[in-house]
Chains A and B, each alone.
Chain A
Amino acid sequence: QSVLTQPPSVSGAPGQRVTISCTGTSSNIGADFDVHWYQHLPGTAPQLLIYGNTNRPTGVPERFSGSKSGTSASLAITGLQAEDEADYYCQSYDSGLSGVLFGGGTKLTVL
């Protein structure tokens, strides 16, 4: 069981806004370690969506945004598109593990 907790699934209609939460503890997100987000399509390598809590790599649409507060973080996707249907993972660093930590992943379904 991952120490970073994500909802197993979320869904939304095209054009809508969805959010994916990532809840951690005082040894990772709450310890002020950054949160990063990846989009993963089956059969491909995950792609970095958000790094350093709120930053988008070049080429990632502005529809994707990240936020962090306390021991939690969120990924928001606005103007939902069919191509956004994928698995999304949050990731941080854990001082207790002294290493990288992934959330359990959230499957986004575009209705």
Chain B
Amino acid sequence: QLHLQESGPGLVKPSETLSLSCKVSGGSISSSYYYWGWIRQPPGKGLEWMGGIDYTGRTYDNPSLKSRLTISVDTSKSQFSLNLKSVSAADTSVYFCARISTWNYVQYWGQGILVAVSS
């Protein structure tokens, strides 16, 4: 069974960079049948697609975050990562990593990690 585990700091200061990683276990990160992504949920709000990446490094961007967001993949470590720069309180969210099928639906989710942006 595929397992995704997010890791990173639970608190980030405003204007700094939020960095998270997602470790993939129980399956291969390298396949053309799916890609990997980040989805977040601000407190009391809905789900927001942030962006994705496949094992070749091709990215799938959300235009609203493109200028601040970098997603990378390290196939040797079976993980992918997110860097969101210049964060503000509006970036406080639960961040989920996910595996997305080529039909563009989420097949597997991580448990989520709460990241607060506060000084």
Contacts and interface: CB of A to CB of B under 8 A. Distances in A.
Question: Does B associate with A?
Answer: yes
A7 to B, nearest CB: 13
Contacts of A105: 46-47
Given A34-B103, A45-B111, A99 B46 contact: no
Interface residues of B, number: 24
Nearest to B110: A45
A101 B110 CA distance: 19
Given A52-B103, A102-B47, A45 B112 contact: yes
Interface stretch (A10-18, A67-75, A89-97): A89-97
B109 A100 contact: no
A40 B74 CA distance: 29
A47 B107 CA distance: 9
Q: Is the interface of B mostly helix, strand, loop or mixed?
A: strand
A100 B37 contact: yes
B46 A104 contact: yes
Contacts of B103: 34, 51-52
Contact of A89 (B46, B110, B111, B112): B46
Contacts of B112: 45
Interface of B: 37, 39, 46-49, 51-52, 60-63, 96, 100-101, 103-107, 109-112
A-B pairs with the 4 shortest C-beta distances?
A45-B109, A36-B105, A105-B46, A100-B49
